[in-house]
């Protein structure tokens, strides 16, 4: 794919976006496209714009709009903004994500707890996701194995997540990028268990 051209079109869409949540979506897409194009020096600013848009949009969201705090945490982890990601994680937990009934809320809590290094609590949340049939089992497994510091099991789960991205038909903002796996790898790297992944069209060069 012509990722540089896709990034430029996304920039234009960002300028025209009329709401905070749309600006968050398009900024995230721009960051992913730039990442895939190898222009990593430009990605941080766009991921931070995405996080800012999504966090501002919470004021107009319902109490169960967990995709927004999830997006904020993911964007800041991909930006390499550890301090910002930790603040976003605390925010997500303050919204009650750890007690959410929905799996997406528990996912927000698990990401937050892993970001904060609260691994025992994260393992409990991830285990609850593994018991659901309405949440991707391989993502739940990967989260649980990061929390448990299980390098072999995490590698297997990460490859399964990669396959799921390679074989799906729909992506956020039509960006064929395994962003969830990239975030998992950031969290796994903090535990010293990041997986050695094969080259893939849904991963940036050098991510393998």
H-state helical runs in 17-136: 20-36, 43-57, 67-79, 82-94, 103-115, 119-130
Is 10 part of a structural domain of the chain? yes
Contact between 28 and 51 under an 8 Å Cβ cutoff? The reply is no
Is 200 part of a structural domain of the chain? no
In this predicted structure, what is the pLDDT of residue 1?
Answer: 73
Contact between 42 and 10 under an 8 Å Cβ cutoff? The reply is no
Phi, psi of 153 (to 5 degrees): -65, -35
CATH, residue 40: 1.25.40
In this predicted structure, what is the pLDDT of residue 205?
Answer: 85
Is 92 part of a structural domain of the chain? yes
Is 95 part of a structural domain of the chain? yes
Q: Which residue has the higher pLDDT, 47 or 208?
A: 47
Distance CA 162, CA 79 (A): 21
Mind listing the pLDDT tens digit for each residue in 76-121?
999 999 999 999 999 999 999 999 999 999 999 999 999 999 999 9
* Boundaries of domain holding 84: 3-190
Is 195 part of a structural domain of the chain? no
Mind listing the pLDDT tens digit for each residue in 145-158?
999 999 999 999 99
Distance CA 205, CA 75 (A): 19
Q: How many CA atoms lie within 13 A of 65 on its CB side?
A: 14
Stated pTM of the model: 0.96
Mind listing the pLDDT tens digit for each residue in 145-203?
999 999 999 999 999 999 999 999 888 888 999 999 999 999 999 999 999 999 999 99
Residue 184: enclosing H or E segment and its boundaries?
helix 179-190
Distance CA 177, CA 162 (A): 10
Asked whether residue 206 carries a pLDDT value surpassing 80, the answer given is: no
Burial class of 96 by CB neighbour count within 10 A (0 to 12, 13 to 18, 19+) = middle
**101 token code pair:** 């009934």
Number of domains in the chain: 1
Supply the mean pLDDT for the chain.
95
Is 59 part of a structural domain of the chain? yes
In this predicted structure, what is the pLDDT of residue 88?
Answer: 98
In this predicted structure, what is the pLDDT of residue 208?
Answer: 58
In this predicted structure, what is the pLDDT of residue 138?
Answer: 97
Distance CA 110, CA 26 (A): 25
Is 79 part of a structural domain of the chain? yes
């Amino acid at each position: 794919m012509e990722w540089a051209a896709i990034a430029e079109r996304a920039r234009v869409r960002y300028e025209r976006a009329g709401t905070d949540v749309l600006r968050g979506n398009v900024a995230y897409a721009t960051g992913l496209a730039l990442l895939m194009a190898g222009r990593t020096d430009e990605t941080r600013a766009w991921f931070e714009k995405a996080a800012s848009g999504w966090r501002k949009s919470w004021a107009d969201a319902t109490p169960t709009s967990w995709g927004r705090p999830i997006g904020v945490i993911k964007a800041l982890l991909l930006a390499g903004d550890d301090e910002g990601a930790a603040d976003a994680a605390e925010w997500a937990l303050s919204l009650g994500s750890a007690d959410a009934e929905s799996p997406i809320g528990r996912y927000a809590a698990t990401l937050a707890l892993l970001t904060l290094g609260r691994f025992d609590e994260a393992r409990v949340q991830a285990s609850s996701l593994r018991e659901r049939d309405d949440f991707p089992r391989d993502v739940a497994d990967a989260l649980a194995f990061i929390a448990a510091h299980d390098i072999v099991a995490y590698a297997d789960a990460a490859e399964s997540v990669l396959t799921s991205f390679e074989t799906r038909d729909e992506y956020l903002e039509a960006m064929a990028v395994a962003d969830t796996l990239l975030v998992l790898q950031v969290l796994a790297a903090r535990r010293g268990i990041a997986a050695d992944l094969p080259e893939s069209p849904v991963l940036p060069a050098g991510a393998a």
